[in-house]
């Protein structure tokens, strides 16, 4: 599955095609140090994507920056949040990191390849589209009839039920689906606040996700792993995480 890059106003997304050159300078992989990135108080992070924010299909999540770097901390035992200031990268959370990870033989860098973005169809009033990306965009764009259709989709595509997933006995099926149904995330929609100690703990927004981007070089040795990135709408720190698919 290629990278999917999300815009939230209005909801839409683009998808990349690794190995294809377009009109903008997007790339997968590459050496972060040779690309000019400087890591402060941490080991270098793996550069997964570096996206050209001048592309209309790439939301300008980092104001004043030409590039949007999507890193992942494979050298540490969990995801992390990082701050981007030009070419300077600082990890802002969590407060502790365990190195000597991963247990598999991860490459020092991923082979650099060009890539390009294409706009993908997404209709925020179509229950099928909405439920396919509910974990990213939510379902507030649906009217009452759309919610009814969305619940029918949930019944066919998931085993989520109030008896097993609702935190309270009084929850309805609709409340349970609203909270727990998070496609394309199998384990529920990511719900997290900013880890930057200098920020005000804002809720994070999903900006990108990918599973197994290239056949020749695996980002994860297990194909059933999704890497995803979120951003704080206030301080613009980026959080990189992974989840099972």
Cβ atoms of 110 and 219 within 8 Å: the answer is: yes
Assess if residue 185 is contained within a domain. no
| Domains identified in the chain, total number | 2
Assess if residue 27 is contained within a domain. yes
User: Which tokens hold the place of 31?
Assistant: 């050496």
The bridge status of strand 26-30 relative to strand 205-210 is unpaired
Tell me: do 158 and 52 sit in the same domain: no
User: What is the DSSP secondary-structure string of 124-174?
Assistant: TT-HHHHHHTHHHH-STT--HHHHHHHHHHHHHH----HHHH-SSTT--HH
Tell me: do 202 and 99 sit in the same domain: yes
Tell me: do 66 and 13 sit in the same domain: yes
Tell me: do 33 and 116 sit in the same domain: yes
Assess if residue 186 is contained within a domain. no
Q: In the prediction, which pLDDT does 216 show?
A: 41
Tell me: do 114 and 133 sit in the same domain: no
pTM: 0.91
Residue 169: exposure state from Cβ atoms within 10 A (0-12, 13-18, ≥19): exposed
Tell me: do 47 and 162 sit in the same domain: no
Tell me: do 21 and 110 sit in the same domain: yes
Q: In the prediction, which pLDDT does 99 show?
A: 67
Residues of the chain with pLDDT under 50: 215-216
Write the CB contacts of 70 (distance below 8 Å, at least 6 apart in sequence).
Answer: 47, 48, 49, 50, 51, 208, 229, 238, 240
Q: In the prediction, which pLDDT does 177 show?
A: 96
> pLDDT digits over 33-75, tens only?
999 999 998 888 999 999 999 999 999 999 999 999 999 888 7
Domain that holds residue 204: 4-121+191-244
Q: In the prediction, which pLDDT does 210 show?
A: 86
Tell me: do 42 and 151 sit in the same domain: no
pLDDT over 70, % of the chain: 89
Write the CB contacts of 208 (distance below 8 Å, at least 6 apart in sequence).
Answer: 3, 4, 5, 6, 49, 70, 228, 229
Q: In the prediction, which pLDDT does 1 show?
A: 60
Tell me: do 92 and 169 sit in the same domain: no
Tell me: do 115 and 14 sit in the same domain: yes
């Amino acid at each position: 599955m290629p990278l999917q890059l999300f815009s939230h106003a209005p909801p839409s997304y683009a998808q990349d095609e690794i190995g294809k050159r377009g009109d903008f300078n997007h790339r997968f992989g590459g050496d972060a140090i040779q690309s000019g990135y400087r890591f402060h108080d941490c080991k270098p992070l793996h550069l997964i994507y570096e996206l050209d924010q001048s592309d209309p299909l790439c939301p300008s999540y980092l104001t004043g920056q030409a590039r949007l770097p999507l890193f992942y901390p494979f050298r540490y035992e969990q995801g992390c949040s990082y701050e981007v200031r030009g070419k300077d990268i600082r990890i802002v959370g969590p407060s502790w990191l365990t190195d000597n990870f991963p247990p598999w033989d991860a490459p020092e860098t991923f082979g650099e390849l060009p890539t390009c973005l294409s706009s993908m169809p997404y209709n925020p009033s179509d229950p099928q589209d909405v439920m396919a990306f509910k974990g990213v965009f939510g379902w507030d764009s649906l009217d009452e009839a759309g919610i009814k259709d969305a619940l029918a989709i949930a019944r066919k595509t998931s085993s989520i039920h109030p008896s097993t997933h609702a935190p309270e006995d009084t929850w309805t099926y609709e409340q349970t689906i609203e909270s727990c149904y998070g496609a394309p995330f199998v384990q529920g929609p990511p719900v997290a606040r900013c880890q930057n100690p200098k920020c005000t703990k804002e809720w994070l927004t999903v900006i990108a996700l990918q599973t197994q981007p290239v056949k020749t070089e695996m980002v994860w040795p297990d194909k059933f792993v999704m890497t995803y990135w979120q951003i704080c709408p206030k301080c613009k720190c980026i959080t990189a995480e992974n989840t099972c698919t």
